[in-house]
Structure 1
Amino acid sequence: MTAHFKADLLLVVTTLIAAAGWIFSKEALAGFAPLLFIALRFSGAGLFLALLCLKPLRRLNRSQMISALQVGVLFGCAMVFWILGLKFAQHVGVGAFLTSLGIVIVPLLNLLMGGEKPSRLVYLSLPFVLTGLAFLSLDSEFHLGFGEFCFLMAAFFLALMFIQNSRAAARIPALPLTAIQLMVTGVITGLCSLVFEEWSFDFPAAIWGWFFASMLLATSLRFLLQTYAQSLAPPSHSAIIMTLEPVWTATLASLWFAETMSLFQLIGCSLIFTAVLVNRAPALRQWLRSHKSRI
């Protein structure tokens, strides 16, 4: 098995675990307060990863630590909106597609933050995004309510986090950077939970089971696999294969929660997914060429 093929398999598994994380989280929210859940999930996962990289963490200088903390703050804000969206949105699958918009808006935000000029493919993807959202909004069974708005805000902060994380990853090893991100996210969501929620831990065993699945599988294992897989292959692999997450999420949600989507919702989600693929067309071409050359 070549390194690239191994990376492909690991990244597909990563997207499946990430999609399963939506299901784990939704089930855990039947008992946990939303912010408390995300705080315990990410702080626990961050501490677990930190134990695996104590020496690299100690080697970080002040500048590296500040950069990692900044990424963590953005990630924390994204997770506050994401968990609220998961709590209040009508469809988990639709939420996954709305969150995936973060991939589309990264180049535009990067330009505003002094980065490189977006390619024409970014502008080509925007009509697909707007049309997709229109199909979702115009459907008689879909309302762009508070939950859906939270998913859009999560996409915005995830885009900011992606930009800052790319800059930080050039100077900081992936594992300690990820550990710091997760722990900071846990602190931010924990503080929000302390202010706005009442804490209770009197849950059935099944709820705790979903929680530990979210923390150990959908967070710790997911990020470990993703980090390792990205070390085996070019970034184009992660850029295109990771877009499978909303597809798996919608599929698992339909199977597990018996969710149904109307024709308009299916068209809207398909258009948004198309926008992601159009935006990542160069990565897709590179990925296909690399596979073709190995056949």
Structure 2
Amino acid sequence: MNASGNHALKADLLLLAATLLAACGWIFSKESLAGLAPFQFVGWRFLIAGLVLAVFSWPQLRVLDRAALGRAAMVGVLFAVAMSLWILGLQHGKHLGEGAFIASLGIVLVPVFARIFFGERPPVSTWVALPVALSGFACLSLAHGFRVEPSQWFFLAAALVFAFLFNLNSRVVRGVPVLALSTIQVVIVGVLVLPASALVETWPASVPTPVLFWLLASALIATTLRFLVQLHGQSLTTPSHAAVILMLEPVWTALVAAWWFGESMSAMQLLGCGLIALALVISRLRWIRGLLKSVL
């Protein structure tokens, strides 16, 4: 195998590992909520992860000017909102696999937000994927008796914020090194959410040791290690190729949740998740075709 083939294989393996780490993060987070308040958990998770990431990104951070730091911090505020909505969805959710597929709707909505807020013209595949994705969400709602569960609203709201966040990351903070940007945004989540938690939540008098383990696993494995692995994998391939592989996160999450929590899906839930997965494929159809051509 030549050097370029080795790089491609290494990138694929790293990105696959990143999606699996992200899926495990759903498990670690759910287990942590057994002994921590939701915002308390998010605050500590991202503050710890951000400080560790800062060690790796310090050479990039120390040369950023105030304007770049300010832009990155501003987008970090939006990231904090998205993660707050996500953790509320996880707190109320009874099915992690379903939640992961709903949260992944943000990928489909990225070009829609680019059209609404930045005047870009999305590809035709976006308008084909959107009704398919909405049909999938409707099926998940019907699975609960013609009503949308609170967790589904929170995950959907998080997906909407993530879609806007992705657009800002590609515009407002363009030119900021990716590792430095990730570090700033992760730290901002901890700095904002942890004090908010102290104001609005009642912290437990003591935290069981297993919960502390899950918190550290969330911070160090599902956040710090996941970001480092994902960013390294992305550096070895094209953004489009990476995006296709990263779409596997909800699939991994459903499989890991089925193994860890014994979750199973009804026929309606399977249909809903399947439609959302199909929408993800349609939204990235052009990139998938390019990937297949390069492989074949």
Tell whether the structures are fold-level matches, with TM greater than 0.5: yes
Deviation of the 1:168 alpha carbon: 4.6
Q: Show the 5 A alignment for 1:1-12.
A: 2-12=6-16
* Alignment correspondent of 2:18: 14
* Alignment correspondent of 1:239: 243
Deviation of the 1:139 alpha carbon: 2.0
For residues 201 and 276 of structure 1, do their structure 2 counterparts lie closer, same or farther at Cα, with a shift above 3 Å needed? farther
Question: Which among 121, 141, 161 is matched to residue 117 of structure 1?
Answer: 121
Deviation of the 1:143 alpha carbon: 4.5
Q: Does 1:52 align with 2:52?
A: no
The answer to whether the 8 A contact 1:64-1:168 is kept is: no
Q: Does 1:248 align with 2:281?
A: no
The answer to whether the 8 A contact 2:68-2:176 is kept is: yes
Question: Which among 103, 113, 135 is matched to residue 139 of structure 2?
Answer: 135
Could you tell me the TM-score, scaled by structure 2's length?
A: 0.95
For residues 287 and 39 of structure 1, do their structure 2 counterparts lie closer, same or farther at Cα, with a shift above 3 Å needed? same
Deviation of the 1:167 alpha carbon: 2.1
Deviation of the 1:195 alpha carbon: 2.1
Q: Show the 5 A alignment for 1:1-295.
A: 2-140=6-144, 143-168=147-172, 170-200=174-204, 202-292=206-296
Percent same amino acid at aligned positions? 46
Q: SS of the counterpart of 2:270?
A: helix
Deviation of the 1:273 alpha carbon: 0.9
**216-225 vs 62-71, which moves further:** 62-71
Deviation of the 1:52 alpha carbon: 1.7
Structure 1: which 5+ runs fail to align? none
The answer to whether the 8 A contact 1:77-1:188 is kept is: no
Q: Which amino acid aligns with 1:172?
A: V
Deviation of the 1:161 alpha carbon: 1.1
Deviation of the 1:140 alpha carbon: 4.5
For residues 160 and 140 of structure 1, do their structure 2 counterparts lie closer, same or farther at Cα, with a shift above 3 Å needed? closer
The answer to whether the 8 A contact 1:42-1:185 is kept is: yes
Give the Cα separation in 2 of the matches to 1:161 and 1:201: 35
Q: Which amino acid aligns with 1:176?
A: A
Q: Give runs of ≥4 in structure 1 deviating > 6 Å.
A: none
Say how many residue pairs are matched: 292
Deviation of the 1:238 alpha carbon: 1.6
Q: SS of the counterpart of 2:175?
A: coil
Superposed CA deviations along residues 167-223 of structure 1, whole A, max 9, x for unmatched, are: 255311111111001000112221321221012361221111111110000000000
Deviation of the 1:288 alpha carbon: 1.6
Deviation of the 1:97 alpha carbon: 0.4
Give the Cα separation in 1 of the matches to 2:146 and 2:52: 39
Deviation of the 1:142 alpha carbon: 7.7
**248-257 vs 47-56, which moves further:** 47-56
**17-26 vs 62-71, which moves further:** 62-71
Deviation of the 1:29 alpha carbon: 0.6
Q: Which amino acid aligns with 2:39?
A: L
The answer to whether the 8 A contact 2:71-2:173 is kept is: no
Give the Cα separation in 1 of the matches to 2:33 and 2:119: 38
Q: SS of the counterpart of 1:275?
A: helix
Give the Cα separation in 2 of the matches to 1:230 and 1:168: 20
Q: Which amino acid aligns with 2:199?
A: V
Q: Which amino acid aligns with 2:177?
A: P
Deviation of the 1:141 alpha carbon: 5.9
For residues 291 and 169 of structure 1, do their structure 2 counterparts lie closer, same or farther at Cα, with a shift above 3 Å needed? farther
Superposed CA deviations along residues 211-259 of structure 1, whole A, max 9, x for unmatched, are: 1110000000000111111110001122110010000001111111111
The answer to whether the 8 A contact 1:136-1:142 is kept is: no
Could you tell me the TM-score, scaled by structure 1's length?
A: 0.95
Give the Cα separation in 2 of the matches to 1:144 and 1:253: 21
Q: Which amino acid aligns with 1:154?
A: A
Q: SS of the counterpart of 1:2?
A: helix
